Amino acid sequence: MDKAILGYCRLGHFRLGVYRDDWDKLAKKFSSFSSLDVTHRLLMLGSRDSTTGWYAKSYEETTIEMIIVSRAAAHMPLPPGVYVRSDAVGLTADPVYEGDEIKTASDQYYQVETVREHYIGDSFFFRECDLTLLPFKNLSGQTYTASSVEDARYRTKVYLETYLSDTALPNYIVAYGKPDYPLIKVFKTKGVDLVFSIGEPESTPLMNPDYTPYGYEEHVPITTFCIDKDNIEGTKLKWQAETELRRVLETYPTGSLRTLDRRRDNDTRLGSIILYSAEYILNYRRDTT
C-alpha cells in the first residue's frame, strides 16, 4: 500500500519523502468491526467485438485494504464529508478506478461507480468510492447469444464505418449503445477520441393495402461522445463529428434518404472531466428483407 505523502524535505538537489499515518489510524479504527482485506478486480479492456464494437472485459485481481460501509450501517463513524450515496461506500488508500469490482470476504461483489480523493492540506488521505451491489454476480445459468447482425443498429454501424472519413476525424469507433462499463474507461485506456454510439431503434411498419408490411421506417438514435483530450477540445470535436455525420448522410443515401430529425445536447460533468455528447435521430426506410 502506498502511504500518503505529507510533504517533501529538500536536501540539496534531492527530495526526501515524509509520510503521515492518517490512513493507518483510520483503518485501525474500523478493523475491529470487520476485515479490511478485499479483492480488487481491476477492469481491463481487450479486443473489440466485431458486432457490438465494444471492448471485451477482463479483470486482474489483487488484495487491498478497503473500509466498506453499507447503507444499512450508515451510522458508522465515517470521516467528515463522507456519505453513503449508493448501496455502500468504500474507503481505501490504494488506487481504484470507475468500473472496477470489489469482492468482500463474504463473497459480495460491488462495482465502483465514482472515485473521489480526500486530502489533509496538500497531503493525500484516502479515496472515497461509491459502490453498487452486484447481487447476481457469478450466479450459474444458461447463457443465450442472440444474433444481432440484421437489426437496424448493425446496419447503421456498417454504414457509418464504411463512409466516415478517417482523415476528417481523430481516432474514433462506432459501437452499439453504451457499454456495461464506464465509457470514460475507453477514452483513458484505448486511445479513442470520439465514439459514435448507436442506440435501440424504433421500427414503424409500412403497410400494403392488404395490411401486409412491405417495409419499415427505422428511427435510430446516434449519440456522439468525446472529452477534452490530448489538446483536442471536446466542444470542437463534438461539432466536427456532427459535420462529418451530416456529410455522410448527404453524400451516401445508399438506396434510401437518410435524415437527422433531432439534435439534443447532453454534456455531463464527471468529476474534473466533461463528457461531451449530442444525440441525433437517424430516419430511413427499408424493405422487409
Per mean pLDDT, which range of 51-65, 71-85, 198-212, 272-286 is the poorest?
A: 71-85
8/32: higher pLDDT: 32
| Residue 66 clears pLDDT 70, i.e. is over it | yes
Tell me the pLDDT band of 147, cut-offs 50, 70 and 90.
very low
263/164: higher pLDDT: 164
Query: Do 282 and 160 share a domain, yes or no?
Result: yes
Query: Do 128 and 184 share a domain, yes or no?
Result: no
Averaged over 138-164, what is the pLDDT? 72
Per mean pLDDT, which range of 7-16, 29-38, 168-177, 209-218 is the poorest?
A: 7-16
| Residue 17 clears pLDDT 50, i.e. is over it | no
Query: Do 159 and 120 share a domain, yes or no?
Result: no
Residue 47 lies in a domain: yes
* Grid cell digits, residue 263: 439534435
Query: Do 96 and 193 share a domain, yes or no?
Result: no
The answer to whether 23 and 3 are in contact (CB under 8 A) is yes
* Grid cell digits, residue 246: 451530416
Of 103, 133, 163, the position where a domain reaches its end is 133
Query: Do 159 and 283 share a domain, yes or no?
Result: yes
Query: Do 9 and 114 share a domain, yes or no?
Result: yes
Query: Do 163 and 257 share a domain, yes or no?
Result: yes
Query: What is the side-by-side order of every strand in the sheet holding 37-48?
Result: 55-65, 37-48, 101-103, 109-120, 123-133, 88-92, 67-70
Give residue for cell 486511445.
191
Which CATH number covers residue 12? 2.40.10
Q: Cα separation of 97 and 40, whole Å?
A: 10
Residue 147 lies in a domain: no
Residue 140 lies in a domain: no
Residue 142 lies in a domain: no
- Count of domains observed in the chain: 2
262/145: higher pLDDT: 262
Question: 81-116, pLDDT tens digit by residue?
Answer: 888 888 999 999 999 999 999 999 989 999 999 899
* Grid cell digits, residue 178: 453504451
Tell me the pLDDT band of 57, cut-offs 50, 70 and 90.
very high
Query: Do 36 and 122 share a domain, yes or no?
Result: yes
Residue 144 lies in a domain: no
In the chain, what is the straight-line distance between the N-terminal and C-terminal CA atoms, in Å? 59
Residue 276 lies in a domain: yes
Averaged over 236-258, what is the pLDDT? 86
Give residue for cell 470487520.
34
Residue 139 lies in a domain: no
Q: Cα separation of 167 and 110, whole Å?
A: 41
Residue 108, pLDDT score: 92
Which structural domain range is residue 263 located in? 152-287
| Residue 255 clears pLDDT 70, i.e. is over it | no
Helix pair angle (152-163, 234-251), 10° resolution: 100
Q: Cα separation of 227 and 225, whole Å?
A: 7
Question: 198-230, pLDDT tens digit by residue?
Answer: 999 888 888 888 888 888 888 999 999 999 987
